[in-house]
């Protein structure tokens, strides 16, 4: 089943919530490299592994996060693309 961008984003937020990350202020535009992003590097890596497990994909970290200014939206788009390729 193909998931749209909003569905993928909501799944990402679910994973964040499961790891006690407050998602109230998170949107597609939130930069993952911003100093006020609410997580440290260890939790960030755990979240990436949890996302791989949730979506049953393997993230290519440089591709997933390689944007000059990575956002939750760019991560969402990357995961959506992985899922689309997986269902082909």
**CATH code of the domain containing 79:** 1.10.1200.10
| 45 token code pair | 């890596």
Question: Domain limits at 48?
Answer: 5-86
In tens, the pLDDT along 60-76 reads 988 888 778 899 999 99
Gap between the Cα atoms of 2 and 39, Å rounded: 29
Provide the β-strand partners of residue 71.
31
* pTM for the whole structure: 0.91
Q: Which of 41-45, 61-65, 78-82 has the lowest mean pLDDT?
A: 61-65
**Which pLDDT belongs to residue 1?**
65
Gap between the Cα atoms of 48 and 68, Å rounded: 18
Mean pLDDT for all residues in the chain: 91
Gap between the Cα atoms of 61 and 78, Å rounded: 10
Please give the tally of structural domains in the chain: 1
Helices (H), the chain: 5-18, 41-55, 61-65, 72-86
Q: Phi and psi at residue 47, in whole multiples of 5°?
A: -60, -40
């Amino acid at each position: 089943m193909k998931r749209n961008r909003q569905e993928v984003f909501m799944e990402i937020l679910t994973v964040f919530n499961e790891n006690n990350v407050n998602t109230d202020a998170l949107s597609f535009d939130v930069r993952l490299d911003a100093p006020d992003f609410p997580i440290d590097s260890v939790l960030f890596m755990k979240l990436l592994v949890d996302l791989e497990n949730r979506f049953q994909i393997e993230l290519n970290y440089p591709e997933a996060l390689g944007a000059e200014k990575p956002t939750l939206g760019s991560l969402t788009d990357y995961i959506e693309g992985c899922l689309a390729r997986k269902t082909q």
